[in-house]
Structure 1
Amino acid sequence: MLIREARIDDIGQIQIIRNSVTENILSHPNLVTDQDCEEFISQRGKGWVCEIDKQIVGFAIVDLMENNIWALFLDPKFEGKGIGQLLHKSMLDWYFTQTKDKVWLGTDPNTRAEKFYRRAGWTEVGKDGSEEIKFEMTYSDWSKSPNH
């Protein structure tokens, strides 16, 4: 298992994973374009992938411009193996070397993702849009976290 920075040539596999998830499903696959992915991993922030046997099985992307976790998704066949935790740690460790500003994300309620973020120490701060739960992580909370 290898966690590494995402590259432009990873976008095809990233899109396959994004469209294979069973939670936080896009209402239409074209809502997140290859150009969006390229912008987020090369201009707005950075991304990471998890590779197993040269196949990408998960990815995470953080947006420094909006202080937002843009994506953290796994191939459903690889859930429950600690990959999400490794991607999450890599992403937040890097994020907080770039800024001490709090970071936020939104996720659907009553999902594995919601439970994951609560266990990882994120604080619920309200709603993002009409349905998603909005979570925040401060530098202080991350630096004290056992996940750090």
Structure 2
Amino acid sequence: MPTPRRGLLRPASESDFPRLYEIWSSVDEHRFREDWERFVETATGMLADNRVWVWSDGAQVHGFAAADPVSAEIAAVYVHPAAQGRGIGRALLRKCCDGLLRRGHRHAWLVTSPGTRAERIYRDAGWVEAGIEASGAVRLRKRLVA
């Protein structure tokens, strides 16, 4: 399994928004297509709760993830296509899950589109199906403690 080299996981800031939007809009496998204004509105709310993490090589952000500390939902995991396959998404997801565990959650959950590369990656990492949403999206769950 590749590991990200010379990277830094850090909390996101508003100055990251243009790059986060670029990453978010470059990923083909996601359910929503929002314009810049809606993206900023959503990201600002997550940022206020310290829910967004980025993976940066120091020069540029290559991925980001967000988790809801109240519901234990992994709300986002996005890696720029040019940086995929380097373990960045796994590192971001692990950071989010570790944060949820520190807040006392025993499980995390997320929703993803069925039949996608993302679904395969989550299932390979031990996420199990917990249901199907009305939209047809797959709800996955993972136990955070042994």
Q: Give the corresponding residue for 2:48.
A: 42
> CA 1:66/1:129 → structure 2, altered by over 3 Å: closer, same or farther?
farther
Would you say how many aligned residue pairs link Structure 1 and Structure 2? 140
| Residue among 56, 63, 66 paired with 1:51 | 56
TM-score (norm 2): 0.86
Task: Tell me the distance in 2 between the aligned counterparts of 1:75 and 1:32.
Answer: 20
> CA 1:51/1:95 → structure 2, altered by over 3 Å: closer, same or farther?
same
Contact 1:19-1:29 within 8 A present in 2 as well: no
Structure 1 residue 125 and structure 2 residue 130: aligned?
A: yes
- How far residue 32 of structure 1 moved from its aligned partner, in angstroms, is 4.2
- How far residue 81 of structure 1 moved from its aligned partner, in angstroms, is 0.9
- Structure with the bigger RCO (C-alpha within 8 Å, sep 6+) is 2
- How far residue 25 of structure 1 moved from its aligned partner, in angstroms, is 4.9
Structure 1 residue 68 and structure 2 residue 69: aligned?
A: no
Question: Residues 122-145 of structure 1: CA distance to partner in whole angstroms, max 9, x if unpaired?
Answer: 1111112321110012233xxx4x
Question: Residues 41-80 of structure 1: CA distance to partner in whole angstroms, max 9, x if unpaired?
Answer: 222x511111124211100000123321110001011111
Two-structure CA RMSD over aligned residues (Å): 1.8
Contact 1:100-1:138 within 8 A present in 2 as well: no
Give the gaps of 5 or more residues in structure 2: 1-6
- How far residue 28 of structure 1 moved from its aligned partner, in angstroms, is 3.9
Runs of 4+ in 1 over 4 A off after TM superposition: none
Task: Tell me the distance in 2 between the aligned counterparts of 1:34 and 1:27.
Answer: 13
Q: Give the corresponding residue for 1:24.
A: 30
> CA 1:15/1:79 → structure 2, altered by over 3 Å: closer, same or farther?
same
Task: Tell me the distance in 1 between the aligned counterparts of 2:136 and 2:116.
Answer: 12
- How far residue 13 of structure 1 moved from its aligned partner, in angstroms, is 1.2
